[in-house]
Structure 1
């Protein structure tokens, strides 16, 4: 069973995303009462998604072409050289999208634990290893190997610099997440992927799960291929909610969590570490 995003912390609204066109920024859940909007991936980078051919062409003309041909092509080639699998980058793109909310909430938890200010100068550096096994579903293709804070001035690797997907407004708090693939190869170049995520001051006031630390939660989510559960409600005129209904199914999430073989049986309710002030 999938755990709640609140496993990481007790923020009233955990960080989460909705499928969105990368050109017109229309969310799929807002497209219409039938939810018929389909998002198609850019065939080159496998990261950008568009709701129409028109949006794809418009984005291509206004900057995505250069980003796609120079930055993502290098990442894709490095992923192929490092893994020996030409599909490695496409699998990473799908895996990253699947686990995006888990990664951002884990990063937020680490920012909270480190006290005020680290989001201004530090990136949460997450190291993952690729499992080149065709029998594994894409959500289990990468294992968690570790994480640590790295200063933003010391993150360049293989001549790759952060790819900023947007320029955050000056009044927006934001963090930066870096994913590095660890592969068994003689090639010393390790593919790196950066992603920005925004959060509010209220998020930094949340309490982090004390019983199970973020790194352990993240490791288990990757290993089991779990999809995080969260819903922010319905919009007027739209019959379905944020999650499509599956979050609201009757499930005993506490028992789901404690049933894992790597947790002690009979654990008490979750405890939280107060935010450092």
Structure 2
């Protein structure tokens, strides 16, 4: 596996130049309370500050009341499940922050992981027999990403895990049978949420699975049954527009591998942040676009002089 995914194709497509997976605005989510779904603010002095559950570090809430309501509505079961992973990560790595670091890493790369899953499903659908729908593929396949923990406090958060492999796999593949129980965690609820959010435009539910090794260089791992891999699954609804998107020239796995290996985020902004005083991305995307435009202008003037 090449971490750069090979040389990117040279083309003039704006979405390819930006490192996106297809020709429309990427599917993405804004930080929000996992109970009332109130969006977080993007400015430090604004009112809504989400507090993450300290048991699992997965879900976040805008108030103690919302956290209590979510706990009574089922979060206690998911929290117990992921606390097992948290404790195992600490045991293997010797780092009490290992699991929390993994959750931060997943949140940073979530947009890339989510959109790579969609792009892989579109690609698989195109290669399948006629009549195969996006929903057929999204319900029968998942993206698996294998990573290894770097126990180094000096690393930036987005590079605290080293990429070891990416695969788009069928759920009934013999090699993935051990992961099937983990893939079911939260799936039914995510399907219902996707149908509610997308309405009649609902096209399916995608899934990605991150499997992290917290002692990757221990030779005893390779002599055993591979129980050091700790999984984390994420499901998300997909609408018809994204299910029908035109793929970028670069293969989705190559783009995903580059994003993860170099700690990249996709460059996009939907501009929609209700009641916020900044945009979706917080401004960084537009600043890069401004610098790109300035560089292109400078190169154009140089060509004119030459």
Distance 1:72 1:110 in 2: 27
Residue-by-residue CA offset, 1:193-241 (whole Å, 9 max, x unaligned): 110022112212222222x322222222222222333211245654322
Q: 2:251 aligned with 1:224, yes or no? A: no
Match of 2:115 among 82, 105, 109: 105
| TM-score under structure 2 length normalisation | 0.72
Q: 2:35 aligned with 1:23, yes or no? A: yes
Count of matched residue positions in the alignment of Structure 1 and Structure 2: 250
Q: Are 1:8 and 1:106, in contact at CA under 8 Å, matched by a contact in 2?
A: no
Give the CA deviation at 1:8.
3.2
Distance 1:93 1:4 in 2: 28
Give the CA deviation at 1:79.
1.6
Q: 2:167 aligned with 1:148, yes or no? A: yes
Q: How does 1:63-102 map to 2 (within 5 A)?
A: 63-69=74-80, 71-102=81-112
Distance 1:83 1:25 in 2: 34
- The structure with the larger Rg is 2
The change in CA–CA distance for 1:36 and 1:4 in structure 2 (over 3 A counts) is: farther
Structure with the largest fraction of helix: 2
Counterpart in 2 of 1:271? none
Q: Secondary structure at the match of 1:79?
A: helix
| TM-score under structure 1 length normalisation | 0.79
Distance 1:96 1:236 in 2: 25
Counterpart in 2 of 1:251? 291
Counterpart in 2 of 1:163? 185
Q: Are 1:124 and 1:148, in contact at CA under 8 Å, matched by a contact in 2?
A: yes
Distance 1:57 1:228 in 2: 34
Match of 2:55 among 44, 50, 64: 44
Q: Could you say what the CA RMSD is over the residues aligned between the two structures, in angstroms? A: 2.9
Q: Are 2:33 and 2:62, in contact at CA under 8 Å, matched by a contact in 1?
A: yes
Extract unaligned runs of 5+ from structure 1.
Answer: 257-277
Q: Secondary structure at the match of 2:291?
A: coil
Give the CA deviation at 1:156.
3.3
Q: How does 1:98-247 map to 2 (within 5 A)?
A: 98-115=108-125, 116=133, 117-153=136-172, 154-157=176-179, 160=182, 162-164=184-186, 166-169=189-192, 172=202, 173-182=204-213, 183-185=216-218, 186-187=220-221, 188-189=226-227, 190-210=229-249, 212-234=250-272, 237-247=275-285
Q: Are 2:20 and 2:267, in contact at CA under 8 Å, matched by a contact in 1?
A: no
Extract unaligned runs of 5+ from structure 2.
Answer: 1-13, 126-132, 297-306
Q: Are 1:180 and 1:193, in contact at CA under 8 Å, matched by a contact in 2?
A: yes
Q: Secondary structure at the match of 1:145?
A: strand
